[in-house]
Structure 1
Amino acid sequence: MSQILCHIRVGKVTLHLYQILAGYTLLARQGIIKLTIETLKKHSSIHHPDNVLEVIINNEICVLYDLNDGYDNLLTDDQYYVDFMNNLLANCDFYFKRSYSKTYNQKLNHQNKICPLGLNYMVTTPRNVAHKPLPLEEYKERLKKLARNIPFTEYYNGKYKTTAFEDIPKKEVNQKILFMARLWDISGDNLLQNSRKSEERKYINYVRAECIRLCRKEFGDQFFGGVNPTPYANENYPDIVIDDKNITKRNNYLKKVKESAICISTMGLHESIGWKFAEYVAASKAIVTEELHYEVPGEFSEGKNYLTFNTPEQCVNQLYTLIDNKDYRYQMMVNNFEYYHQYVRPDRLILNSILTVLNKGRVNENEQNTHSIYAYI
């Protein structure tokens, strides 16, 4: 089988983009694609917004990956997402968006170019170019990247490998419930220039705090939850701060996830589906989540892969639905295990996007070739 040519143009890599570059790195290692990487310099004429990556497929097809939380999170009060997005869409052939919404897309030119990318989380693999300080990154960010390459540090890249998140469904697992979260400072973020976004952060903090309080009261030791001990949380929500900082470290957090049967998720910034949600799917957990505002590829739905709530009280009720039905809970775990390996694992997520590009409009005639490619993973 001939290799698919993939040329990445990159000058800076945010944490959101590690998953994309990990996927391409893994596909190259598996021999499915031939990967080349062009490092953009400061004088380059090619510049993309934060959390956006460009890839050229087979020397002719321009693909953009947009890992932003929403459609307007890079914009200020006086900017409108339509002009911002139309400019990007005019200069590519395919646009894979993490936070994909048909409603938002209806206002855009070239909306036929936009495809749902899928769930996003911070995940990587050895020899990922994302680990290297790059020319267009700020000095502080380059220092952080160097620190991430040092073993035994809290944010070491090795703690974010695919296998660190993965687990299998366990039918006889105990019924522990988990919800560890962070709270957002509603005034201290210099990027927060939008009053509407300030109200959104207040709402996110309220829902997370009330879910934790109610679950502690309702489920006792069966539930473990709390918020990271930040100065803002310590001052404003001291009753739900996790006292032991060691528990919030990456290895210990992932251990808590794997020890739990049911994990809770709430809406992220800009109504996004947060990283925790993808981490729960990778770990094959049953999920209770606040209503999702964006769409993902494949058959992933309410009742099959997760249960939703709109209030903290509804969250408790949905938890009882999973606690009281072991078979249903286990089937949800199995469904998420299957979905992860088909749509979320970095190499599969990227391969799905490449196949969408190659098979656009001719899926049936290429069905046999598609199966042969999947056999390599």
Structure 2
Amino acid sequence: MELTPKSIRRIELFVSNDISHSSYLVTALDEFCNKNNLKLDLSFNIYGNEGRVHVLHNDLKITKHHFLKVCYVRLTLNTSKKLLLAFDFSDSDVFFSLKALERVDYYFKRTYTQNNVELVREKFKTKVLPLGIPFMVRPDKIKNRKRLKIYFILGNLFNAIKFDKILLSRLSKRYTKSTLELESFITTRTLSDFQNYSKPKDLNSVFYQKRLFPNEKDEDTREVHRQRIGIVRLLKKQFPNHFIGGIKNDKNLHTGYKDCASSITGSQAEFLKITKESGICIYTRGLANSIGWTLPEFMSQGKAIIAEKQFVKFNEELVHGKHLLYFSNSTELEQNIKDLLSEPLEIERLSRNSRAYYEENISPKIYFRNILEKLNA
């Protein structure tokens, strides 16, 4: 039986413990249900989070670690058949949810790298597919807000239960953190904010804005920080009349990096505003080689994007020279910028193509429809 909107009787979303990443799925499902006259039912996450699969040295290691960034969706078809889908929003390409791999029919992985997925497929029967390029967004109107709040907070409290002497303190901290995360979702940018875009004020402006993370204990974090600082200093030196942005000026910006401080506050609303006004936007990876939210945000606004070359697999390939320009080092980055600044028509061509990719592959308006098409393939 072909899977179509008309073949679905019920869609059930089990509220995730991570609302920031799963907000993209919440918005996509809301759009899909609105368009196809279906009801989106919210449920408490009954699947639990304990159990993690770690791809380590070309082998799999299974541990009891909790895996929080996974969201479940259950489809009930008109035939009464049920399909369980898992959406893994983790930054890491080496960690997977054990329970999801054991239970679901399809597993969608955000940071999907071919070799690691193939190792997982050898042990588990679940079909693992690329999730796509999500970002934080909410529906224009949040439905069932009270139920979403209850399930989200209860899920996080339940996950914090461990009977020891600091149980009450841990529950209190988890409750506070959960309410702050929920408030961030409720006040984040809406789907309409991303759907609406216009020609930039200055086609030759070059925008790069990043932040530093709270600690540098991990070598991956240190490498990300070195890269971001290096790029800001390059842009300030080589393109002083075009560069906008820098490193968010907060407590994580060390004294030695204050020359990189940005005058842009880094709020979500201001970030999108500056993106809309810019002609050229530069993207670099997140932690663990993940694809950060800024890449789809740039594409939503039809930007000419110069992006660090990545190895994550998407449903539809991002093609160098068509959707964006890739760079592997600072020399290539600098040359790409110079080439675009000398060719305004090329900026406009890349801009049209990046927006088209967003509309066809990323926008929450079409995302879940595309998922169904993948399941039919």
Q: CA deviation at 1:184?
A: 2.1
TM-score, normalised relative to structure 1? 0.80
Q: 1:263 aligns with which of 263, 281, 285?
A: 281
Residue 141 (structure 1) aligns with: 177
CA drift at 1:53: 0.8
- What is residue 65 of structure 1 aligned with on the other side? 87
Deviation at 1:236, TM superposition (A): 3.7
What is the aligned counterpart of 1:35 among 35, 40, 43? 40
Q: Give the deviation of 1:87 after TM superposition.
A: 5.0
SS at 1:186 equivalent:
coil
Change (3 A) 1:98 1:350: same
Q: 2:204 aligns with which of 175, 182, 185?
A: 175
Contact kept, 8 Å, 2:133 with 2:362, in 1: the verdict is: yes
Equivalent position amino acid for 2:211 in 1: R
Is the alpha carbon distance of 1:45 and 1:314 closer, same or farther for their aligned partners in structure 2, counting shifts above 3 Å?
closer
Percent identical pairs in the alignment equals: 22
3-state DSSP of counterpart to 2:103? coil
The one-letter amino acid paired with 2:208 is F
For residues 39 and 212 of structure 1, what CA distance do their matches in structure 2 show?
Answer: 44
Corresponding position: 1:103 with 2:115: yes
User: Partner of 2:6 in structure 1?
Assistant: 2
Q: TM-score, normalised by structure 2?
A: 0.80
Cα distance, 1:156 vs structure 2? 6.8
Contact 1:169/1:285, CA 8 A, preserved across alignment: no
1:262 Cα offset (Å):
0.6
Which residue number corresponds to residue 127 of structure 1? Answer: 142
Distance in structure 2 (CA, Å) of the matches to 1:351 and 1:7: 16
Q: CA deviation at 1:123?
A: 0.7
Distance of aligned partners of 1:33 and 1:47 in 2 relative to their CA distance in 1, 3 Å threshold: farther
Return the offset for 1:165.
Answer: 2.5
| Amino acid aligned to 1:99 | T
Name the CA distance, whole Å, in 1 between partners of 2:251 and 2:187: 28
Letter in 1 for 2:227: V
Q: Provide closer, same or farther for how the CA distance between residues 112 and 88 of structure 1 changes in structure 2, counting only shifts above 3 A.
A: closer
**What secondary structure is seen at the aligned counterpart in 1 of 2:6?**
coil
Question: What secondary structure does 2:318 align onto?
Answer: coil
Deviations 1:346-366 (A, max 9, x none): 131222112322x14xxxxxx
Paired with 1:173 and 1:243, the residues of 2 have a C-alpha distance of 18
Distance 1:106 1:45, change over 3 A: closer
CA RMSD after TM alignment: 2.4
Gaps of 5+ in 1: 73-80, 149-154, 193-197, 361-377
Q: Is it true that 1:21 corresponds to 2:26 in the alignment? A: yes
Aligned residues: 328
**1:35–1:143 Cα change, 3 Å:** closer
- Is there any run of 5+ residues in structure 2 with no aligned partner, and where? 51-66, 157-173
